[in-house]
Structure 1
């Protein structure tokens, strides 16, 4: 129930909750304090509202201090700390600081485009962390116009190295781009002014990707940096209908043979290149996924998932018809999982099967692998208890190993840590486990953190933009991190581009084993080698294994092509091994299949992520499965990387606060509002799911645009608000509001909306919208009388103020449209820094 004031501002939200139908309902009140300018100045969740009602000195979850122009000048969150943003006269952010003492600043050119960004950590020196160059900076005959680079950001120097755009199609698709990595995997660069000085910080190798696209910008052929080629074909609606790969020096292999779609835009049938046919069925009225059946050409059924729902779309059961009843130590197990929820639709009970060898394991460990025909399974039950802020308080597990995991939550925030004999025992002890911005400082509950953690066991080190920089895996020195086993990361924008794991082999000789992953366009470059370190001298040895993993989506199925340049294990059947995956409703990889449709591995998951069932035909092949729960990569730390932050499945929560702030509620650590069976999180910012995606696609976005939009978002971290994950859309859907025509929503710019608004001028406006790159974006439509509306701006999302705002423009002013294209759509090509109005999905 929503309660508003006289100007329709939401003051209170009333919810009633209980865990069981027979239990007493209890009232939960969320509260907003409205200031004299009708702006929300304070927000409290039910837990802090109850405390505030008894003691009015209790802090709010969120406090906003606006500037005279109405922008958020300072925000104070009990979860993510405080941040201050200073804007210039044009409303652009120019200076920022936060509770950690980090200071960041941005500079712009005369056209308002970002030119550089600097960062200063608390007590440290100022460094230039980002520089950008634009295609119109050189002479007219430099080739930039022929390659459509005028106004585009063509070179980006950041904490991940250098990204360059060489050529762009008229549609905006990048046809050629290259990437250079930093010379050091653990460096924080300070980019100098001169290009020659910048090159000294980079490796000499350039990784270049080239592409061919159609007139609409859809890729037809892509050749990655190592020479592997992907090719696509499309149907008349612009949907992918087939896909193939040609590994470097190898022969062409079909990845996707065909796809059949429903009238509602849902995949009905996919035929993979290995002959396996996957059939999907949906509930006719709601379009909820009902069954997923994967079958080989010999009619062997590999997976037959069936989903049961309650009336609101929460998954109540998942069954796999291919799992026969099995018996182990007087227990019968089958392929049925059951779930129940409280009145807020938070998961409170789950049952299923697990490997009989599953016990209470270290957080970074997977359970012992079983053979595919094993009968050694037992039943499990998990129960979950939450506080009124949605923080998990207790997880109780009964099964192969019985345990209860308790969490301790800070009184005035949603910061929580696992409780054990050496960990936080009271809410007052929790604060030391987090830094001022809400970043967890240590993975494993144990001795309470103190001082600098960079050299302590399981310590997490965070960069100035709240990106995880390193995790200490094994501590040998309390003063010198270079002596410790560790996993380190580098990023370009909000995308990880490099991961390196360093393990000491021989301390006497300084011999280290190094495993590295470089994330390139459409592929992963994985290498292993040993190197000898003596002081500042590093002597690398020969690469013992080099693996190229060509990645992609073939319909719903994820594809990974494993191509070894050197060091291919003996137990791998053949080089250029293609692995097709069959996923579930939230994208978790349950089956891996080979070129003959044989099962490589099978995995089932507990709610919130841990592995319940794990079997494979070969331990060696199993070692190369890295994408697991929710379709995300699992690191050696046990954390899952989602793009904007990391997730700890054993804690059932994120290890840092939501970078999108309160778009998914006041609890910035909660995973998909504690409903992980029905929903997933695409990039680590807010919950999504088939329901949300389908509704928004139907009401706001042409269906054929969905795949390109998601690709742009994932690969380039752009932020133009397409409303797939827009704040207002998701909130409206959560309140069961009709998305189309809702009074706080605005329509996507597309031919039908332009036709209804502009009548005889519709064709003219459509051409202008296409030229400016407006098609598919959310327009700000203004009523000009007689029920007629015109576009007066574009809704964009500002990652600094964490607010949706309008980028004003005029459809009849060529300079206005040109300005929009140069300042906003140009940033689609490559990632811009932490500031900027860009485009978020």
Structure 2
């Protein structure tokens, strides 16, 4: 097997050292880059308080520095409140954050590292306790500003007619206002509109007069309409400009066709057909441009090994990517058999990339091909070859060097045929993991001065300053600094309350003529407007087809200002690689628009197009993300610098991906991807290849498609506990042992395998408890408790018997196995394989020891679709149904448990405190239960959310 020497991994186990409480106090890794070299022992040290809470972690690099300099601090220090929640988090990368919760455990006051005070207000105790507002105050401000206001629907007939009773119907946030106008009976969003703030206006929703707030908003209102089937699968979506997307599914609920109707035009097909394997993996798809893509998988591991894209009308294959892996799932070569081997300047140039790793699975060497005139990689983008010409490609080799903390410190590039040889040096702070390009400073002691207290970089390159808002989101980049200041070239951004980028404005000054390019981001639609000092020069709508199989389809529709050498309503099918990077663009006839290949950390190596105009309209590139004029990639939660392979700011999720808050995908960028800027995964790409039916579940901030009003309560990132080693040698275990796990026998979907997670420098990323994780409990005090519950539902009992004999299910149901898997994370068995994407995403924010309170907040403060909500109060209407809906009585006997220290503790007398959740099971163990539910809310008016189906045998009709 290529690029693999087994001797490299000999005597490089991962060792975990436990104290007498079963807590991991040392993680020991052995690093080696050559088979004959001596391994470097790297020890990550952890300390705990008397309660067993992790209160200190330090990586090998900083520990070594601390031996000669006592002023060096650990990577993280934590302090906890009396309930065990993080009270103060001090990070060398992200600064010091203090979070105070109220008596109900909800976040009340947060003081960020930059000194911003955030205060949240909730409803009074006599009401459900929902969030009402968020106020923020910077150190420079004398009073606070209310940056978010939430308006909740009442119980009027008009509101109930649209299923809005009890819903957040208006959310005024940092971008403007989102209005929820109609919900379906299943809780999916039928109609929603947004209205942005005036460009010069900052969010400040003070007072109670909404009329005053309206004066802060721009005139344009953007409305998105959707329809769904009875299962909650999206059928049609009409965007803010009247373009309609239509989707269809097979009997298994998997996507098998999609269509697009531009406003005022006839419908056109986007996906003609899709074929899946028995494991649910995509095998073949045919698009509206008659291009066919076929997938092949390794039989033993189900890893993707081939992607072939071709036209059926001729013999030419457009793309034929072949992947080869090492035994643990690292990609070691990618070959494009659709391309021919070329010869240039007496060298053989093959369409192949190879990759070499160290004993910690960090990429240390890569080879491939690049354009002969590419030059040194920087924030600037290379010009494409026009027309496409692959005769002037040359070979390159790149080597990567990392320090003992996992920081990329050097990129050496060599291209002998063109003498394009250079080294990119990165200067890392001697006190943190903050780092910058060495052209900014070569002194490690000066690096921290180039960041603010929260770990946000203040300078991109020399002369380009960065400004951040109160929430740690990039607000402005100064592209060109001029003496007068007001005429600086700049690009600035605006985000919604849940972190989605809603607006991008690029302002440039040239020859006494100001030009402004404005991009408004809406569900499946981008509005791109270009204006000069006197007129609008371009009005472009970019329609993104949300479900186009593997290809991301974008349609360019000009209202005005269309360039001459490009067709209006041009369809651009983008075909990507394993990590989602856009490599091939085809038009509606299957003809090549552009081709692009990338260096491992995201720079462009090859870039060819059939004309310059079409090339200029490609915005989605590396990892399927948008590249801005700054050269940065926008991922959702963070921005990424591809020329140095680092994030621009510290990880807002804390230690979810280890102690180094700037490291990109564990220094393994060919195998892993980061879907939103929080942590790496391989599951995201595989999930895209096994696409199931589409619902209105909230997408990640970088890829919003059908966004409901999303209320995400900010909480302090919890420390991820050190994880135990499960193997001393490379195995086929999945990354982190908590991301994807090999499917057990009997499962219908086989998950692909990925690199073993215990080979990662100073890593405590994917939490795994050091405590006992058995769900069994002693028989002491075990007895069932009788529950009488009520559910309002527009379906009569007779209709339930005839059409829904299985009982009440969630809109996005978990089967029994998945529900057991989900519940088991609260007792230390953190296996998220095959769970829904949004469920996994929320689990990842809960830290090493998720609590039932986390699940309760998730259900109450988000539009969760994976539970069935009922109440023990007969006057409570469940699920937003109208008062005239049939009421169903549910009787069942269940065991009730608290979870303390990740162990089930029986509660035979039930809960004694309001809003303190408990777990309900029909057997004493999670792994044998067929009914699993969360009991939360007031003690005498319990709110119960079922993870499993409510059997109809327990249901009877009830008269009001």
RMSD: 3.6
**What whole-Å deviation, never above 9, does each CA across 1:556-581 have from its counterpart, x for those lacking one?**
21110111111111111x32111111
Taking the aligned partners of 1:728 and 1:175, their CA distance within structure 2 comes to 41
**SS of equivalent residue, structure 2 residue 374:** coil
Change (3 A) 1:774 1:765: farther
Supply the distance in 1 between the matched residues of 2:671 and 2:19 (Cα, whole angstroms): 34
Report the CA distance shift for 1:319/1:693 in structure 2 as closer, same or farther (over 3 A): closer
Question: Unpaired segments of 5 or more residues in structure 2?
Answer: 1-14, 725-732, 745-767, 775-783, 789-799, 828-838, 857-866, 881-914, 916-960
Cross-structure match for 1:485 = 489
The match for 1:241 is: 256
Which residue is 1:513 aligned to? Answer: 515
Q: 1:466 aligns with which of 461, 464, 472?
A: 472
TM-fit CA distance, 1:107: 0.5
Does the CA contact (< 8 Å) of 1:228 and 1:550 recur in 2? no
Q: In the superposition, relative to structure 1, how do residues 405 and 783 fare at CA in structure 2: closer, same or farther (>3 Å)?
A: closer
Partner of residue 391, structure 1: 407
Q: Is the 8 A contact 2:656 2:845 kept in 1?
A: no
Aligned: 1:117 with 2:134: yes
Cα 1:803/1:546, change in 2 over 3 Å:
farther
Over 3 Å counting, the alpha-carbon distance change for 1:337 and 1:819 in structure 2 is: farther
TM-aligned CA deviation for residue 363 of structure 1: 1.3
Name the CA distance, whole Å, in 2 between partners of 1:280 and 1:95: 50
Alignment of 1:574-589 (within 5 A): 574-589=567-582
Equivalences for residues 83-98 of structure 1 within 5 A: 83-98=97-112
Aligned to 1:553: 547
User: Does the C-alpha gap of structure 1 residues 765 and 465 become closer, same or farther in structure 2, counting only changes over 3 Å?
Assistant: farther
Q: Please name the residue that 1:780 is paired with.
A: 823
- Corresponding position of 1:833: none
1:826 aligned partner: none
- TM-superposition CA deviations, 1:513-534 (whole Å, max 9, x none): 1111100111111111123xxx
Q: Are residues 1:500 and 2:514 paired? A: no
Q: State the Cα distance separating 1:672 from its structure 2 match.
A: 0.2
Deviation at 1:262, TM superposition (A): 1.1
Aligned mate of 1:129, from 147, 152, 171: 147
TM-score (norm 1): 0.85
Q: Which residue of 2 aligns with 1:179?
A: 194
The answer to whether the 8 Å contact 1:798/1:804 transfers is: no
Measure the CA separation in 1 of the matches of 2:22 and 2:742: 19
Q: Is the counterpart of residue 665 in structure 1 residue 658 in structure 2?
A: yes
Deviations 1:29-79 (A, max 9, x none): 111101111110001122123334566653110110001111100000001
Q: Name 2:323's counterpart in structure 1.
A: 307
Q: Distance in 2 between matches of 1:260 and 1:712?
A: 27
1:477 Cα offset (Å): 3.4
Deviation at 1:712, TM superposition (A): 6.8
1:802–1:638 Cα change, 3 Å: farther
Q: Relative to structure 2, which stretch is displaced further, 812-821 or 385-394?
A: 812-821
Q: What is aligned with 1:678?
A: 671
| Residues 697 and 768 of structure 1, relative CA distance in 2, 3 Å threshold | farther
Cα distance, 1:551 vs. partner? 3.7
Residues 294 and 303, structure 1, Cα contact 8 Å, conserved in 2: yes
Cα distance in structure 1, aligned partners of 2:616 and 2:98 = 45
Q: Distance in 1 between matches of 2:327 and 2:805?
A: 43
Q: 1:29 is matched with which residue: 16, 39, 43?
A: 43
8 Å contact kept, 1:472–1:486: yes
Distance across 2 between alignment mates of 1:162 and 1:655: 28
Residue 466 of structure 1, CA deviation: 0.3
In the TM superposition, what are the counterparts of 1:406-421 in structure 2 within 5 Å?
406-420=425-439
Question: Kindly tell me: are residues 358 and 191 of structure 1, through their superposed partners in 2, closer, same or farther at Cα, counting changes over 3 Å?
Answer: farther
1:151-166 mapped onto 2 (5 Å cutoff): 151-166=166-181
Residue 687 of structure 1 aligns to a residue in which SS?
coil
The answer on whether the counterparts of 1:470 and 1:487 sit within 8 Å (CA) in structure 2 is yes
Look up the match of 1:357.
373
Q: Give, in whole Å, the separation in 2 of the partners of 1:683 and 1:386.
A: 24
Q: 1:281 to 1:440 in 2, by over 3 A?
A: same
Q: Is the alpha carbon distance of 1:108 and 1:719 closer, same or farther for their aligned partners in structure 2, counting shifts above 3 Å?
A: closer
Asked if 2 retains the 8 angstrom alpha-carbon contact of 1:712 and 1:718, the reply is: no
Which deviates further from its counterpart, 337-346 or 542-551?
542-551
1:814 aligns with 2:814: no
Render the CA deviation track for 1:701-758: whole Å, top value 9, x for unaligned.
x98478765747753477699xxxx9799999434575779988999xxxxxxxxx99
Deviates most, 179-188 or 735-744: 735-744
When structure 1 is superposed on structure 2, of 163-172 and 646-655 the one drifting more is 163-172
Could you report, residue by residue, the CA deviation over 1:131-174 in whole angstroms, capped at 9, with x for unpaired residues? 111122xx512x21121112221111111111111011122211
Taking the aligned partners of 1:766 and 1:316, their CA distance within structure 2 comes to 48
CA distance in 1, matches of 2:679, 2:269: 35
- Corresponding residue number in structure 1 for 2:385: 369
Question: What is the aligned counterpart of 1:405 among 424, 427, 445?
Answer: 424
Higher alpha-carbon deviation: 812-821 or 10-19:
812-821
After TM superposition, the structure 1 = structure 2 runs for residues 138-153 of structure 1, keeping only pairs within 5 Å, are 140-141=156-157, 143-153=158-168
Contact 1:34/1:41 (CA < 8 Å) preserved in 2? yes
Q: Which residue number corresponds to residue 618 of structure 1?
A: 611
Alpha-carbon distance in 2 for matches of 1:816, 1:506: 70
Q: CA, structure 1 residues 87+803, in 2 after alignment: closer, same or farther (shift >3 Å)?
A: farther
**2: CA distance between counterparts of 1:680 and 1:712?**
14
Partner of 1:7: 21
Name 2:535's counterpart in structure 1: 541
Distance in 2, matches of 1:462 and 1:740, equals 43
Instruction: Give per-residue Cα distances to partners, 1:404-426, cap 9 Å, x unaligned.
Output: 01111111210001113xx2122
What is the correspondence of 1:47-86 to structure 2 with a 5 Å cutoff? 47-52=61-66, 58-86=72-100
- Structure 1 residues 429-457: Cα deviation after superposition (integer angstroms, max 9, x where no partner): 1011100000010111x4xxxxxxxxxx3
Q: Please state if 1:39 is matched with 2:39.
A: no
Find the residue that maps to 1:144 and give its secondary structure.
helix
> Which runs of no fewer than 5 residues in structure 1 stay unpaired?
447-456, 532-539, 748-756, 785-793, 824-841
Q: Which structure has the greater CA radius of gyration?
A: 2
The answer to whether the Cα contact below 8 Å between 1:213 and 1:219 also exists between their aligned partners in 2 is yes
Identify the residue that residue 302 of structure 2 maps to in structure 1: 287
Tell me which moved more, 250-259 or 542-551. Answer: 542-551
Q: Following the alignment from structure 1 to structure 2, what is the Cα–Cα distance between the partners of residues 184 and 802?
A: 41
The separation in 2 between residues aligned to 1:730 and 1:210, in whole angstroms, is: 45
**Contact 1:797–1:803 (8 Å) recurs in 2:** no
Secondary structure at the aligned position of 1:650 is classed as coil
Deviation string, structure 1 residues 164-190 (Cα, Å, up to 9, x no partner): 110111222111000111111674445
* Shift in alpha-carbon separation, 1:720–1:465, aligned structure 2, 3 A: closer
> Which is strand-richer, 1 or 2?
1
CA 1:720–1:102: 2 relative to 1, 3 Å: closer
8 A Cα contact 1:417 1:430, kept in partner: yes
| Contact in 1 for aligned 2:57/2:75 (Cα 8 Å) | yes
> Corresponding residue for 2:119?
105
In 2, distance between residues paired with 1:94 and 1:379? 57
Q: Distance in 1 between matches of 2:849 and 2:206?
A: 30
Query: 1:812 deviation in Å?
Result: 10
- SS of the aligned residue for 1:32 comes to strand
Q: CA separation in 1, counterparts of 2:405 and 2:275?
A: 43
Higher mean C-alpha displacement, 396-405 vs 587-596: 396-405
Q: Determine the structure 1 residue equivalent to 2:810.
A: 770
